[in-house]
């Protein structure tokens, strides 16, 4: 019996890149220059914990420096390795180009299971890792700016920012060395929810594309659509919460480490999230069916499948059984190159990772700009905007008095219209705009080019075109 060999994550990304680049007419050598990873730094360092020295292995990979700083998250997971970090760094290059965030691509990782450590231990490990990276300018406001990823969040970003500031006491822009920080440590409103929010905006924009919906054999709106989500972490939780609470989607399945929950009436995402916080997993959650065979639920009947946990979960072994007509890749690389081919042949529409989860880096970009400008978005304009709106309301109120019962303003209109945009509203507006424009750039290629049969190829064509243009502008 011949064994089916799945390519590695980095090979998968390269295969998808190659498929798109074959349709382009790039100057000789440029294709190779864009594809390869510029450098990967491996560090091993020791931390004294629980009476003995423990050695940790970490990576920071820089895929492309056609724009600087380079940007990409830091992942804490046991599965972290060089191949994975390089694949994720490459995806960052293409993602930033696609959503016009002015960064090159990078990614970092530490091989660790964060759940095995106390908070004070994790702080020492994170600070030491940050020290090793900052020492080599692999954390730097103008050269390399990390962000959260799997296993890391605001807390770790705050430690990294503080570590950098301690090592660079006169750098007025020190806070811009990392994004995804808590609000009180230089963060921005809306960063925690950003990637999940971006998934929601991406789906909303997809549902405004009648031709795309036809290709997925879908009709109607998000209201009532049955959704299965894998991974109820930062990205999956926010995406599922917004889609169910604001768009009327039914979250019929949630897959986690310890199995899956499903309910045809739709699960209460907030309740499941609170259950996980309290009990460490979904097991025992009432009002839903539970199965220990979590990944089998990927193959259940639904309208939209959202893998939001790990890479490679849809692959040669299960792609043919996936029933969802639409997959949105909230995680990075959840579908392998082999899985992708099977699904494309079956006509499944895949909204690709480099677009679908770009909400995080988009809002990270806003945070970085905020840190460099040293002022909160909206601080100068908000009250002035409100004062101008008040003028309109006063004028309308005067009219209101003259018109008697024939016409009157609703109090809700007054409240909504009067309120000037604060940072959160501005961030959401900037994110929505970014997700719409990026979708439209892929959509045009997808629908207009006969050789771009799927959204992923279209996304690569747009982003590689942009990276190539910036290399050309540099004279390379």
Query: 143-172 mask for ligand NAD (x: CB under 6 A)?
Result: -----xxxx---------------------
Q: Does the annotation mark 241 as catalytic?
A: no
| Catalytic option among 95, 107, 215, 466 | 107
User: How far is Cα 251 from Cα 425, in angstroms, rounded to an integer?
Assistant: 26
Backbone angles phi and psi of 43, in degrees to 5: -130, 140
Place of tokens 């004294």: 48
Site for ligand NAD in 35-64 (CB under 6 A): none
Per CB under 6 A, which region of 43-51, 164-172, 232-240, 404-412 contacts ligand NAD? Answer: 232-240
CA angle 439, 196, 231 (to 5 degrees): 120
Per CB under 6 A, which region of 57-65, 251-259, 285-293, 375-383 contacts ligand NAD? Answer: 251-259
Identify whether the C-beta of residue 437 lies closer than 8 Å to the C-beta of residue 362: no
Q: Helix, strand or coil for residue 339? A: helix
Q: Which is nearer to ligand NAD, 116 or 170 (CB)?
A: 116
Smallest distance from ligand NAD to CB 147, Å: 7
User: How far is Cα 394 from Cα 383, in angstroms, rounded to an integer?
Assistant: 16
User: How far is Cα 34 from Cα 468, in angstroms, rounded to an integer?
Assistant: 8
Smallest distance from ligand NAD to CB 211, Å: 27
Q: Which is nearer to ligand NAD, 216 or 272 (CB)?
A: 272
Smallest distance from ligand NAD to CB 248, Å: 23
Q: Which is nearer to ligand NAD, 132 or 154 (CB)?
A: 154
Query: 183-222 mask for ligand NAD (x: CB under 6 A)?
Result: ------------x---------------------------
Residue 105 binds ligand NAD, judged by CB under 6 A: no
Q: Which is nearer to ligand NAD, 148 or 190 (CB)?
A: 148
Smallest distance from ligand NAD to CB 470, Å: 22
User: How far is Cα 91 from Cα 353, in angstroms, rounded to an integer?
Assistant: 8
Element at 104 (helix H, strand E): strand 104-111
Q: Which two tokens stand for residue 66?
A: 């056609």
Q: Which is nearer to ligand NAD, 81 or 213 (CB)?
A: 81
Q: Which two tokens stand for residue 76?
A: 């804490």
Q: Which is nearer to ligand NAD, 150 or 464 (CB)?
A: 150
User: How far is Cα 258 from Cα 394, in angstroms, rounded to an integer?
Assistant: 58
User: How far is Cα 428 from Cα 363, in angstroms, rounded to an integer?
Assistant: 9
Per CB under 6 A, which region of 203-211, 224-232, 378-386, 415-423 contacts ligand NAD? Answer: 224-232
Q: Which is nearer to ligand NAD, 43 or 313 (CB)?
A: 313
Per CB under 6 A, which region of 121-129, 242-250, 304-312, 459-467 contacts ligand NAD? Answer: 304-312
Q: Give the start-end residues of each E strand in 263-372.
A: 289-291, 304-307, 326-328, 349-351
Write the DSSP string, 46-103: EEEETTEEEEEEEEEEEEE-SSSSEEEEEEEETT--HHHHHHHHHHHHHHHHHTT-S-
Residue 309 binds ligand NAD, judged by CB under 6 A: yes
Residue 235 binds ligand NAD, judged by CB under 6 A: yes
Site for ligand NAD in 357-386 (CB under 6 A): 357, 360
Q: Which two tokens stand for residue 37?
A: 């990873």
The residues annotated as belonging to the active site are 107
For ligand NAD, the binding residues (CB under 6 A) are 148-151, 195, 230-236, 255-257, 294, 308-310, 330-332, 357, 360
């Amino acid at each position: 019996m011949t064994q089916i060999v799945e390519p590695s994550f980095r090979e998968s990304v390269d295969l998808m890149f190659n498929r798109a680049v074959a349709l382009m007419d790039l100057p000789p050598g440029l294709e190779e220059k864009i594809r390869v990873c510029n450098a990967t730094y491996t560090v091993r360092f020791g931390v004294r914990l629980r009476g003995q020295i423990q050695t940790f292995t970490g990576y920071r990979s820089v895929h492309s420096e056609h724009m600087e700083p380079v940007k990409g998250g830091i992942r804490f997971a046991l599965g972290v390795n060089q191949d994975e970090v390089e694949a994720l760094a490459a995806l960052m290059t293409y993602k930033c180009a696609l959503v016009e965030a002015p960064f090159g691509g990078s990614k970092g990782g530490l091989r660790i299971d964060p759940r095995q450590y106390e908070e004070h231990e994790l702080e020492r490990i994170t600070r030491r890792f940050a020290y090793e990276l900052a020492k080599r300018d692999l954390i730097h406001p103008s050269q390399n700016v990390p962000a959260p990823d799997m296993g890391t969040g605001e807390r770790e970003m705050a430690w990294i920012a503080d570590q950098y500031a301690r090592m660079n006491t006169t750098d007025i822009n020190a806070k811009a060395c990392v994004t995804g920080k808590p609000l009180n440590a230089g963060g921005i409103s809306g960063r925690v929810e950003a990637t999940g929010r971006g998934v929601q905006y991406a789906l909303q924009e997809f549902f405004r594309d009648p031709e795309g919906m036809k290709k997925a054999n879908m009709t109607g709106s998000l209201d009532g659509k049955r959704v299965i989500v894998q991974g109820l972490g930062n990205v999956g939780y926010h995406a599922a919460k917004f889609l169910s609470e604001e768009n009327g989607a039914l979250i019929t399945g949630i897959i986690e480490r310890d199995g899956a929950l499903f309910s045809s009436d739709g699960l209460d995402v907030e309740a499941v999230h609170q259950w996980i916080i309290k009990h460490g997993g979904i097991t025992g959650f009432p009002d839903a069916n539970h199965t220990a065979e979590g990944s089998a639920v990927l193959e259940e009947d639904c309208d939209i499948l959202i893998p939001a946990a790990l890479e490679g979960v849809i692959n040669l072994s299960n792609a043919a059984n996936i029933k969802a007509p639409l997959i949105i890749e909230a995680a990075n690389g959840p579908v392998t190159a082999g899985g992708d081919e099977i699904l494309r042949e079956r006509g499944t529409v895949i909204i690709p990772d480099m677009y679908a989860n770009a909400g995080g880096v988009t809002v990270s970009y806003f945070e970085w700009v905020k840190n460099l400008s040293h002022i909160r978005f909206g601080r100068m304009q908000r009250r002035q905007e409100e004062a101008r709106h008040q003028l309109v309301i006063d004028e309308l109120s005067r009219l209101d008095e003259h018109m008697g019962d024939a016409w009157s303003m609703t109090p809700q209109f007054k409240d909504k219209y009067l309120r000037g945009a604060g940072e959160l509203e501005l961030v959401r507006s900037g994110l929505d705009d970014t997700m719409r424009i990026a979708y439209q750039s892929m959509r045009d290629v997808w629908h207009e080019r006969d050789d771009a049969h799927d959204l992923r190829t279209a996304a690569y064509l747009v982003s590689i075109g942009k990276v190539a243009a910036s290399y050309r502008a540099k004279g390379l």
